[in-house]
A and B are shown apart, each in its own frame.
Chain A
Amino acid sequence: MTSHAKHGSGGKPVGDVIISVRDLFVGFGDKLVMKGLDLDVYRGEVLGFVGGSGQGKSVLTRAILGLVPTRGGTIRIFGQQRDKLPAPERKALEQRWGVLFQNGALFSGLTVKQNIQMPMRETRDISPRLMDELAMLKIELVGLKPDAADKFPSELSGGMIKRAALARALALDPELVFLDEPTSGLDPIGAAEFDDLIATLQETLGLTVFMVTHDLDSLYSICDRIAALADGKVIAEGPLGTLLASDHPWLRAYFHGVRGGRLAAVIPE
């Protein structure tokens, strides 16, 4: 578990491997989505995960989270293979991560505050007072106004839903956070704010962030390392510069296309 990064150049110093995926095969019916995929995520980094639509970014995230059955290969999180663990240890493991789903997946029958308290209430013995205080603290931490606490998800805007869902993901102070397209559906200002928020939280809480994203600005501004998915494998990984230099056709189209070209122009080579 303490194998260190081989690619320290360019990125910031890296620690232990927190997620290690080896030779992963995932398929639906006779269609194979992951074909022997390898991926490492190191403690304390923000990993951006990119790939074309339908390439299986979400499938990989769901496979790591154990929501999609795998056909072969191993997935180790915190050095443990989730599907081999007995139930109590698996639960303990699942409390060490937080997940932000693409559409928030807030419980629609509960208020924002109750949503955030849900994991606390279910897994810890905490006094109601502390639970209220912690929920309000998280609400403030993600930049929501206190009066959002008693609102229902249907009364929130898209950006507020993302923030509330992030607050819920952070309820138990997880070490590892999965973000599925955190900035999709936000306006550029909101997206930039959300990026800053993730960066700040990552620094203060010492989070490891696994982020599926399409947002080139997010990749540029907060990701330490980027992995690109195509044809069921990771075709390139490393700091942004490495990916910009890659000559894989999809990556060239992605980074040097009209939108990516503007970005490449501002990044010093």
Chain B
Amino acid sequence: MAAAASNPPDVSPAEGGARLALVGDWTLAASRRLEDKSQQIVDLGKRREFVTIDLSGVSHLDTAGAWLINRARRNLAGERVGVALEHARPEHGIMLEEAAYRDFEAPAPRRVPVVVQLLADLGRAVADGLGEFYRGVSFLGEFMAAMAYVATHPRHFRLTSLVVHMEAIGLRSAPIIILINILVGGIVAQQGIFQLLRFGASSYTVSLIGILVLRELGVLLTSIMIAGRSGSAITAEIGSMKMREEIDALRVMGLDPIEVLIAPRVLALVISLPILTFIADIAALFGGMLVSWGYGGISPAAFLSLLKEAIALHTFLVGVIKAPFMALVIGLIAAMDGLATQGSAESLGRQVTSSVVKSIFMVIVLDGLFAIFFAAIDY
């Protein structure tokens, strides 16, 4: 029926053009042809005083066909041409009535000069950025208040939930973190040996690996990996719970979503990230040792004794101290972006992207701040 474009719509003038006989399927299946034929009715009729449109040859009519016939009628009336419809089948008559032509007011697009638009966008971006920072600080406060409440009311502490999230965030990401850190440790060792060999100082490679990995790379790589892996998951989880009104359901039960949903996740991050950082450090040192042995000819025993000279406990602590702060930043950004999700799937995607980008950026900024801080206190 609707799919049968085999019987295309047509207009055949009779009685010298005073009578227009419509034939064929006046349905949307004929698409553009239908619009052309509607225009043809207007073109054929507009020089006359009166036109009769004969519908007896119309085999099928849908709303699009009826609409276009009515549009042609309306356009002819605008040219002061009288129009009569004849021999319409009862069901087509109903259809023509239902699709009577009317104007739909189209909202006029607002035109704004490009410069003004650019300035407005810039201003909005700055205001949004400041608002975001303000909300971030206030969210941190809310989170701290929730933590303080949990600390004073241990019965509200959700141990099961914490363990579940520690498994998802910590345990399940351990293999990939071990893998990338072995690779990066190896790459640093290879480059160190290759570059330092020219000065005959390849044994300093061990110091390079030890200090670089423990102070910076281990914690940085782990944080970036967790921001991409677990931060995105937290945003998506909380965002879809927001979309499905689950957050509202918690609120009306008198439960605080920050305490129920966000505290266990952020806490799991804060506990897991230092552990993962430790694992990452070991993995990167191991990777470095393997490459030093195979590529630089430094035996594991020599590697370990050189490493012992190069690093002290504080080298390791500098890296690990940063981890909980990185975790807090990742968790809070992920949770905040999740809660900012609106109703649409598009919005969820946007929030997840923004959460990952923001938390990776903040992790690197924070690392820079820590570097300045440790340099200042000479640690």
Contacts and interface: CB of A to CB of B under 8 A. Distances in A.
Contacts of B64: 126, 130, 134, 173
Contacts of B2: 95-96, 172-175
B31 interface: yes
Contact of B28 (A120, A133, A136, A175): A120
Given A134-B63, A204-B95, A127 B35 contact: yes
A136 B104 contact: yes
Contacts of A204: 94-95, 98
A130 B343 CA distance: 30
A154 interface: yes
Interface string A197-208: 000000111100
A150 interface: yes
Given A95-B3, A120-B28, A173-B2, A109 B63 contact: no
Nearest to B345: A108
A109 B345 contact: yes
Interface of A: 92-93, 95-96, 108-109, 120, 124-127, 130, 132-134, 136-138, 141, 146, 150, 152-155, 172-175, 203-206
- Of the candidates A93, A108, A203, the one having the most CB atoms from chain B within 10 angstroms of its own CB is A108
A152 B1 CA distance: 33
Interface residues of B, number: 29
5 contacts: A96-B3, A108-B345, A126-B32, A133-B71, A134-B64
Interface in B111-149: none
B343 A150 contact: no
Contacts of B345: 108-109
A115 B95 CA distance: 23
A109 B344 contact: yes
Contacts of B18: none
Given A126-B31, A126-B32, A137-B67, 13 more contacts: A92-B3, A108-B346, A109-B345, A124-B29, A126-B64, A127-B35, A130-B35, A134-B28, A134-B64, A134-B67, A152-B343, A155-B343, A173-B64
Interface string B203-247: 000000000000000000000000000000000000000000000
A173 B67 contact: no
B62 interface: yes
B28 A146 contact: no
Given A96-B2, A108-B346, A175-B1, A127 B98 contact: no
Contact of A125 (B27, B32, B91, B343): B32
A13 to B, nearest CB: 15
A153 B346 CA distance: 12
Nearest to A89: B3
A216 B105 CA distance: 40
Contacts, number: 77
Given A96-B2, A108-B344, A173-B2, A137 B31 contact: no
Contacts of B62: 173, 205
B99 interface: yes
Contacts of B27: 173
Contacts of A93: 3
A141 B68 CA distance: 16
B30 to A, nearest CB: 9
Contacts of A127: 32, 35
B346 A126 contact: no
Main secondary structure of the interface of A (DSSP, over half): helix
A96 B1 contact: yes
B28 A172 contact: yes
Interface in B58-112: 62-64, 67-68, 71, 91, 94-95, 98-99, 104-107
A207 to B, nearest CB: 11
Contacts of B32: 125-127
A137 B99 contact: yes
A152 B68 CA distance: 28
Contacts of A205: 62-63, 95
A222 to B, nearest CB: 17
A248 to B, nearest CB: 37
Nearest to B71: A133
Interface in B1-53: 1-3, 27-29, 31-32, 35
A203 B29 CA distance: 21
A196 B28 CA distance: 26
Given A133-B104, A136-B104, A204-B95, A154 B342 contact: yes
Contact of B346 (A92, A109, A120): A109
Nearest to B104: A136
A227 to B, nearest CB: 24
- Of the candidates B28, B67, B68, the one having the most CB atoms from chain A within 10 angstroms of its own CB is B28
A130 B344 contact: no
Given A134-B67, A137-B67, A173-B62, A154 B343 contact: yes
A141 B100 CA distance: 11
Give the 5 A-B residue pairs with the shortest CB-CB distance, closest first: A154-B343, A108-B344, A109-B346, A173-B62, A136-B104
Contact of A133 (B29, B67, B342): B67
A109 B347 CA distance: 8
B91 A146 contact: no
A175 B2 CA distance: 8
Contacts of B94: 203-204
- Of the candidates B31, B62, B63, the one having the most CB atoms from chain A within 10 angstroms of its own CB is B63
Nearest to B62: A173
Interface string B323-348: 00000000000000000001111100
Contacts of B1: 96, 175
Nearest to B65: A173
Contacts of A96: 1-3
A141 B95 CA distance: 11
Contacts of B346: 108-109
A158 to B, nearest CB: 12
